[in-house]
């Protein structure tokens, strides 16, 4: 189970070379808008190596994101560019040229052993609800090796 999450994190990171991780400081005063970006979001913890989980990431340094679905054995990803306007994310998928407006609401929560909940509406990719934890923030450019170590550290904390 933990191995599958590491693989998911690594593949998401490998898809975009500047995928970044830190164990930063979270406070309850963080606004919903800032919670959405620069954080790893998953729909559930993998139950085994074949369990497909959904991953969502939106980076701020370069406004790019990813919808990713996969297990340890099967992967599927789609990158997107975006503009953030309040609680709305305007997404463009470069592969198809499609555009959509997605409403994103993030909040602190205590569900499924997670610290944060994210609800997306209007999206045609991924799922509608994602979860994240303190320490799953993204920041700073890392090498592939650093990313692998950071992902392993995150999984060990589970």
Q: Using an 8 Å Cβ cutoff, are 93 and 17 in contact?
A: no
Cα distance from N-terminal residue to C-terminal residue, the chain: 10
pTM: 0.74
Give the tens place of pLDDT for each residue, 32-55.
Answer: 567 899 899 999 999 999 999 999
Q: How far apart are CA 131 and CA 78, in angstroms?
A: 19
Tell whether the model's pLDDT for residue 152 goes beyond 70: no
Q: Predicted confidence band at 10 (pLDDT cuts at 50, 70, 90)?
A: very low
Token pair 């609680």: residue: 87
What are the residue boundaries of the structural domains of the chain, listed by start? 2-156
Q: What is the distance, to the nearest Å, from the Cα of residue 145 to the centroid of all Cα atoms in its chain?
A: 19
């Amino acid at each position: 189970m933990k191995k599958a999450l590491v693989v998911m994190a690594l593949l998401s990171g490998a898809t975009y070379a500047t995928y970044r991780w830190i164990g930063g400081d979270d406070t309850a005063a963080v606004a919903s808008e800032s919670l959405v970006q620069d954080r790893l979001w998953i729909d559930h913890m993998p139950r085994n190596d074949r369990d497909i989980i959904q991953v969502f990431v939106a980076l701020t340094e370069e406004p790019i994101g990813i919808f990713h679905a996969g297990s340890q054995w099967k992967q599927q990803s789609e990158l997107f560019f975006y503009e953030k306007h309040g609680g709305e994310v305007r997404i463009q998928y470069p592969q198809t040229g499609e555009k959509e407006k997605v409403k994103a609401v993030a909040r602190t929560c205590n569900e499924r052993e997670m610290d944060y909940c994210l609800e997306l509406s209007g999206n045609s990719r991924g799922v509608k609800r994602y979860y994240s934890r303190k320490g799953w923030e993204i920041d700073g450019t890392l090498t592939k090796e650093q990313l692998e170590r950071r992902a392993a550290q995150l999984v060990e904390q589970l």
